Structure formats: structure tokens, C-alpha cells
């Protein structure tokens, strides 16, 4: 009977427990979902230990451990105006602000999203999740993997920044340097903003969480293959199409499809140009010819003008020496100016061919860059591609009628143009210059250099002294336009004439006395002696006798001593004369007469 009762209890137990185990095993998710945690935690609903252990096992197998900081997948189960409710298969559902999904405005219920458990339980007991943090963690994993494997990633160019662009790669803000955008220089960065492009992760700084990406690296890989193919086919004289990549003051860099070449400024045009941008512009496509390259073909010299015939070859045969041509001044040097008479055809006008004047000046005195001038062809060498021109040949030669315009003895006015040690060049008119020798500048002054008398630019009266038509030379005089004051001085300061003046300066061998602005006389040392035996000093005034006057050499010598010596001699002569008269009247003896004459003679000799 007891055995039967025990059997019935076992059966009853089996019938009670079997459905619970079966339900949990058959639908564990539903069982866990419907389990009342609150009642269990408050002790309202008792659970057998065996059931509790099985329940904990199912929880471990089916629910996320919210204590782990792992990124898990969740499902959007509900959305409000401000939040998204996410089911991550945990004890409760989590919540994420919609601000974290601004990049995905199309988010909807049922979408799978990556999340990270931010707060296990807030003050309301709510599980708080973060999609942004989850994306960041996953993004760094993907960025690191892309850097290690060299994988090409897509990125969204958000905005410009100093030195480059900011790119969103997997939700991480990466830096794209300006030099890594393209193989060619970028002039407009804004054209890339809000575009999705392919990049390669080239550098990661884990300490500062910096990522650097490059779009150029992808282009270079393709270009390198093209470059090898192009370089292998390069030949001198080959014509290729290229794109203007960069313009400098000395030339233009051309992209030949991965290989760069340089067109020097002199190879852009047969005409002279000041800057390459006069001929080409950026991104312009051009046909160019290969002129030369180095051994490894890394430096390629290109030409543009060589694709056109040389302008000298197109110069008409009818152009000949003596023809009048018109051209533009393109280059000026001290010795002359280059005139472009046709595109790429230049001629030189030497400064000596710019004016009939024999007084050469700089070409800049006659023309300036850009001037349109008329000229005559003087020489023409088609083989050497040289041409010399002249401007003065278009005007009459002023020396043609020189004898009638400037006969010897005629008086004119001219402009002082230049000095030499021996004279002054005076321009009477354009092309007519004459020379005034230094000796013909002044009648009275002893000129050591022309600058003592005149200055460049002065207007000067001149007299034609000599004319050499064949030698194209004019000899002029300035002093001849005035009366020679020495003609008057020759009478005024005649020999033996006496003049009063002061000693101006004491010199080694005497002194100088200035009688007027023109005449300064020299007084020898021995002629400075005064009547009392002393000598004249500087500034002392006295009378002087002219003892030498040379008009040709403008030399005047004076003496103070001769003044009173001459007076003594005069007194002696007068005394002799009186004594002679007295003697004649007294009729002295011959002996008396002899004694008197002897005494006078002695006195005169002593005076002299």
C-alpha cells in the first residue's frame, strides 16, 4: 500500500514538473520574457531552486551580460520624437537619443544597429545605450584593419580646414592633407566638400587619436603603371598631348599622363614673352614635342614653338635691305634696342643708328619698351637670322648742307653735352656736334678743366673756327664770341707803367698782386724790397711797376723795388744835368770838371 502511495507521489511530481521544463526548453525566449522579475525580487513569487538554476542557465545562454563593455547588435523596437528603444536581448530594453542617428535620418523600427552599454541602470532603472560610442569603437577597429591591410575605404569630405580637408571615415574624423588630394596642385578645395571619395589610410597616431588618409596614393598607384609605360616609349622628336599642370616665371610644367615635362619659356613661342601665362593657362591641353631628356628620363625637356615653322622661314623674299619696316620695341640694352618687325622676327637698332649725333647716348634716351617705331633695314642675313635696322636713315643727314648752315666765322648757340680733359662737346642741333678746346673757353682764365667754366646742359655761344666736312668735325670757340680784353690791357698795363695794389699772397719765389678780375701779376722775391730795406707782406698796399707783359701767355710781372730805384736814378740824372750847367757857366778847369764827374759817377753806380 505504501509502495503504491510512493508511486503515485512520484507520478504526481512528474506530472507537475514536466510541463515547466518542457516549456522552458521548447520556448526559452518566451519563458524568459514573461518571467516576472519584480515579483521574484520582492519575494512575492517563489521559485524552486531547480527551476531557478535552469532559469539562470537560460539567461546566461540567451541574454547579454550588461556588465561587459562590448559592442553588441540591437534592434530598433520603438521610436519616439526624441529616442529610439533598442532591444539587445538583455533583461530590459535600452534607450538611445535620436541625436546619435543624425547621420541616418531614415532610421526605422526593425533596423539593426550597433550599441554599447553606456549606463547599466539610470535613476529610473532604465538601461542606457550608446550608438555613437559603439560606432567609434567599431570604426577604430575597421580603420586599424584598413591601415594594416592597405584596404581602400570610402570617406565623406565634411569641410575644409587649415592645410587640407576633414573626412568622415567610419564615423571618425580623419585629416586629408592638401598635398594628398591629387597628384596635381589643387587650386579649388571647395569642389571636394560634401563628396564621397575613396581613400587609403596612411597614418594613425593612437596616442592623439589622429588618422591621416590619402586620395593621392590611389592615383599614384595607377599613374606609376602608366608612367612606366610612357617612359619606355619616349623618343626625341615625339609629339605627345599633355595638360598644363603648373606655370612658373621660367616655364610651364606639362603632365604627360603621369610623367611631367618642362617647357622652358624660350621654347613656348618664337616671339619674346615676359611670362608664360601670355601663351598658356592652367589645365589647358597642348600638343608638345620632346626635345631632350636625361638618362633615366626623369627630366624631360619639351617644346611648343617647335611645332610651328620658324618665322624667319616665313619671311617674304620681297623683304630686302633698304626697305622701310614698322615694329615694336621688345628689348632695350645700353647698346641698342631689339625691334620685332614680324612675329618671331627681330632686328637690332644700334644706338649709333638712332641719331645722326656723334655724341652716343643710351638707347633708353630714344625709345622705350612697347614703342612702335619706323626703321630702315640696313643688313639682312637670312641664314644667320639676323637683321640690323636704323632710325636716323629716315631723316636727312644734317651734314649734307653743313657748309651753308655753319660756315667758318659764323656765330651760333649750342648745348654743352659732354666734357673731356681737353675740351667741351657742344651740340648745335641733332646730329651736329662741335668741340671747343680748353684754350678757347676764356681769354683771361687759365682753365685746367672745362667744369671750372661750364656745366653739362649749359647754353653756350660759340664761333665756328674750323670745318672738316669729310671728317664730320667742327672746331668751335667760345672766347672768340667776346672781345679780347688783353688787347686793352696791353695798353693799360704797358711796360714801365705804375699801378697801386695790395699783396694778395706770398708764395715760394715771391708774391702775387691782383690788379683786377683778369690780371694777377707775379712779383719776384727781390722785387718785394722796400726803400727802407724791409720787404712787403701779404695785404700790404704799395706801388708796382710793370716790368714784363706777355699777351699771348697772359703773363704779367711787376716790381715794387723798381719804383723807388727808378726815382733815385731820376734824381741823380737831374743833379748831373744841373752840375753840368753850372760848370759850363763857371768854366771850371779840366781838373775840376773831372773831379765833379767822378763824384757823380760814383754816386750813380752806388745807387744802381
SS (H, E, C) 350-415: EHHHCCCCCCCCCHHHCCCCCCEEEEEEEEEECCCCEEEEECHHHCCCCCCCHHHHCCCCCEEEEE
* pLDDT tens by residue, 556-605: 999 988 888 876 666 656 666 666 676 666 555 555 555 666 666 665 55
Over 70: is that where the pLDDT of 483 sits? yes
**Predicted pLDDT at 1:** 40
**Predicted pLDDT at 373:** 92
Over 90: is that where the pLDDT of 463 sits? yes
Task: Give the alpha-carbon dihedral of 260, 264, 265, 266, to 10 degrees.
Answer: -150
Mean pLDDT of the chain: 80
* pLDDT tens by residue, 98-134: 888 877 788 889 888 888 877 666 556 577 788 778 8
| CATH 1.10.3720.10 fits domain 150-219 | no
**Predicted pLDDT at 251:** 93
Lowest mean pLDDT among 20-29, 59-68, 317-326, 428-437: 59-68
Between β-strands 423-429 and 83-87, what pairing exists: parallel, antiparallel or unpaired? unpaired
Nearest residue to 244 via CA among 230, 232, 254 = 254
Cα–chain-centroid distance for residue 129? 63
Distance in Å from the first CA to the final CA of the chain: 203
Residue 353 vs residue 207, higher pLDDT? 353
Find all residues with CB under 8 Å of 378, minimum gap 6, and list them.
Answer: 321, 353, 388, 389, 390, 393
Cα–chain-centroid distance for residue 514? 62
Q: Please, what CATH class does the domain formed by 485-559 belong to?
A: mainly beta
pTM exceeding the 0.75 threshold for the entire prediction: no
Find all residues with CB under 8 Å of 553, minimum gap 6, and list them.
Answer: none
Residue 225 vs residue 377, higher pLDDT? 377
Would you state the cell numbers that stand for residue 270, as one nine-digit string?
Answer: 618664337
Find all residues with CB under 8 Å of 582, minimum gap 6, and list them.
Answer: none
**Predicted pLDDT at 175:** 92
**Predicted pLDDT at 33:** 54
Find all residues with CB under 8 Å of 450, minimum gap 6, and list them.
Answer: 419, 420, 423, 424, 436, 438, 441
Over 50: is that where the pLDDT of 135 sits? yes
| CATH 2.40.37.10 fits domain 71-135 | no
* pLDDT tens by residue, 410-461: 999 999 988 888 899 998 888 888 999 998 888 777 788 988 889 988 999 9
**Predicted pLDDT at 11:** 43
| CATH 2.40.50.140 fits domain 311-394 | yes
The average pLDDT across 329-346 equals 88
The average pLDDT across 392-401 equals 85
Would you state the cell numbers that stand for residue 334, as one nine-digit string?
Answer: 645700353
Cα–chain-centroid distance for residue 380? 37
Contact 130, 124 (CB under 8 A): no
**Predicted pLDDT at 57:** 57
* pLDDT tens by residue, 503-550: 999 888 899 999 887 788 999 988 888 888 888 888 889 999 988 888
Rounded to an integer, what distance in angstroms lies between the CA atom of residue 398 and that of residue 270? 39
Q: What is the DSSP string of 174-195?
A: EEEEGGGS-SS--S-GGGGTT-
DSSP-derived secondary structure letter, 535: B
**Predicted pLDDT at 464:** 92
Lowest mean pLDDT among 91-95, 173-177, 501-505: 91-95
Give the side-chain half-sphere CA count within 13 A for 493.
Answer: 29
Phi/psi-derived region of residue 275, left when phi > 0, alpha when psi is between -120 and 50, beta in every other case: beta
| CATH 2.40.50.140 fits domain 234-307 | yes
Find all residues with CB under 8 Å of 603, minimum gap 6, and list them.
Answer: 572
If pLDDT is split at 50, 70 and 90, which confidence band does 473 have? confident
**Predicted pLDDT at 142:** 85
Give the side-chain half-sphere CA count within 13 A for 224.
Answer: 6
**Predicted pLDDT at 94:** 84
Would you state the cell numbers that stand for residue 412, as one nine-digit string?
Answer: 651760333
If pLDDT is split at 50, 70 and 90, which confidence band does 63 have? very low
Over 60: is that where the pLDDT of 13 sits? no
* pLDDT tens by residue, 137-162: 888 888 888 888 888 888 899 998 88
**Predicted pLDDT at 288:** 92
Rounded to an integer, what distance in angstroms lies between the CA atom of residue 194 and that of residue 80? 30
* pLDDT tens by residue, 275-303: 999 899 998 999 999 998 876 667 889 99
Could you tell me where the beta strands, DSSP code E, fall in 27-121? 71-79, 83-87, 94-97, 112-119
3-state secondary structure of 109: coil
**Predicted pLDDT at 265:** 92
CA distances from 539 to 48, 305, 501, 505, 511 (A): 150, 84, 9, 8, 11
Over 70: is that where the pLDDT of 502 sits? yes
Other residues' Cβ atoms within 10 Å of the Cβ of residue 152:
12
Would you state the cell numbers that stand for residue 32, as one nine-digit string?
Answer: 524568459
Cα–chain-centroid distance for residue 251? 16
Nearest residue to 341 via CA among 319, 326, 322 = 326
| CATH 3.20.20.120 fits domain 402-481 | no
If pLDDT is split at 50, 70 and 90, which confidence band does 28 have? low
Residue 17 vs residue 93, higher pLDDT? 93
Over 90: is that where the pLDDT of 4 sits? no
Residue 505 vs residue 12, higher pLDDT? 505
Over 60: is that where the pLDDT of 225 sits? yes
Q: What are phi and psi of 410, to 5 degrees?
A: -80, 150
Amino acid at each position: 500500500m505504501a509502495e503504491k502511495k510512493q508511486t503515485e507521489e512520484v507520478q504526481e511530481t512528474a506530472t507537475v514538473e514536466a510541463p515547466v521544463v518542457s516549456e522552458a526548453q521548447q520556448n526559452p525566449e518566451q519563458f524568459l520574457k514573461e518571467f516576472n522579475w519584480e515579483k521574484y525580487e520582492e519575494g512575492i513569487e517563489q521559485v524552486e531552486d531547480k527551476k531557478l538554476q535552469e532559469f539562470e542557465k537560460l539567461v546566461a545562454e540567451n541574454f547579454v551580460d550588461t556588465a561587459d563593455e562590448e559592442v553588441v547588435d540591437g534592434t530598433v523596437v520603438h521610436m519616439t520624437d526624441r529616442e529610439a528603444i533598442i532591444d539587445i536581448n538583455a533583461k530590459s530594453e535600452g534607450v538611445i537619443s535620436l541625436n546619435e542617428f543624425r547621420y541616418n535620418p531614415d532610421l526605422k523600427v526593425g533596423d539593426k544597429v550597433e550599441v554599447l552599454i553606456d549606463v547599466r541602470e539610470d535613476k529610473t532603472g532604465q538601461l542606457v545605450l550608446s550608438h555613437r560610442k559603439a560606432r567609434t569603437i567599431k570604426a577604430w577597429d575597421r580603420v586599424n584593419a584598413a591601415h594594416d591591410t592597405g584596404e581602400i575605404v570610402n570617406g565623406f569630405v565634411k569641410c575644409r580646414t587649415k592645410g587640407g580637408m576633414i573626412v568622415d571615415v567610419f564615423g571618425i574624423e580623419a585629416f586629408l592633407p592638401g598635398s594628398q588630394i591629387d597628384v596635381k596642385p589643387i587650386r579649388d578645395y571647395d569642389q571636394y566638400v560634401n563628396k564621397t571619395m575613396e581613400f587609403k589610410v596612411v597614418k594613425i597616431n593612437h596616442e592623439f587619436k589622429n588618422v591621416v588618409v590619402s586620395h593621392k596614393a590611389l592615383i599614384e598607384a595607377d599613374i606609376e603603371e602608366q608612367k612606366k609605360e610612357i617612359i619606355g616609349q619616349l623618343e626625341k622628336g615625339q609629339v605627345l598631348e599633355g595638360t598644363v599642370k603648373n606655370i612658373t616665371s621660367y616655364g610651364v610644367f606639362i603632365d604627360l599622363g603621369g610623367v611631367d615635362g618642362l617647357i622652358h619659356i624660350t621654347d613656348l613661342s618664337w616671339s619674346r614673352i615676359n611670362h608664360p601665362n601670355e601663351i598658356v593657362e592652367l589645365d589647358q591641353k597642348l600638343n608638345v614635342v620632346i626635345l631632350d631628356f636625361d638618362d633615366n628620363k626623369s627630366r624631360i625637356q619639351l617644346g611648343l614653338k617647335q611645332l610651328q615653322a620658324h618665322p624667319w622661314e616665313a619671311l617674304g623674299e620681297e623683304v630686302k635691305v633698304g626697305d622701310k619696316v614698322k615694329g615694336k620695341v621688345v628689348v632695350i640694352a645700353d647698346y641698342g634696342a631689339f625691334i620685332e618687325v614680324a612675329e618671331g622676327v627681330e632686328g637690332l637698332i644700334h644706338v649709333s643708328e638712332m641719331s645722326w649725333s656723334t655724341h652716343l647716348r643710351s638707347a633708353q634716351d630714344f625709345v622705350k619698351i612697347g614703342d612702335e617705331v619706323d626703321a630702315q633695314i640696313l643688313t639682312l642675313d637670312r641664314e644667320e637670322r639676323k637683321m640690323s635696322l636704323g632710325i636716323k636713315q629716315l631723316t636727312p643727314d644734317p651734314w649734307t648742307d653743313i657748309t651753308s648752315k655753319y660756315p667758318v666765322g659764323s656765330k651760333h648757340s649750342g648745348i654743352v653735352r659732354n666734357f673731356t680733359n681737353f675740351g667741351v662737346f657742344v651740340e648745335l642741333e641733332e646730329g651736329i656736334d662741335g668741340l671747343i678746346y680748353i684754350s678757347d673757353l676764356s681769354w683771361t682764365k687759365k682753365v685746367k678743366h672745362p667744369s671750372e667754366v661750364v656745366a653739362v646742359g649749359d647754353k653756350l655761344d660759340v664761333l665756328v673756327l674750323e670745318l672738316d666736312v669729310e671728317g664730320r668735325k667742327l672746331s668751335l670757340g667760345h672766347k672768340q664770341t667776346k672781345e679780347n680784353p688783353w688787347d686793352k690791357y696791353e695798353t693799360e698795363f704797358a711796360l714801365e707803367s705804375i699801378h697801386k695794389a695790395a699783396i694778395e699772397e706770398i708764395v715760394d719765389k715771391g708774391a702775387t698782386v691782383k690788379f683786377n678780375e683778369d690780371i694777377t701779376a707775379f712779383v719776384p722775391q727781390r722785387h718785394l724790397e722796400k726803400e727802407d730795406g724791409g720787404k712787403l707782406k701779404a695785404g700790404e698796399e704799395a706801388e708796382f711797376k710793370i716790368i714784363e707783359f706777355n699777351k699771348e701767355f697772359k703773363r704779367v710781372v711787376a716790381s715794387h723795388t723798381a719804383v723807388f730805384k727808378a726815382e733815385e736814378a731820376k734824381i741823380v740824372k737831374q743833379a748831373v744835368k744841373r752840375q753840368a750847367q753850372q760848370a759850363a757857366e763857371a768854366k771850371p778847369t779840366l781838373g775840376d770838371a773831372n773831379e765833379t764827374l767822378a763824384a757823380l759817377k760814383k754816386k750813380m753806380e752806388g745807387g744802381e
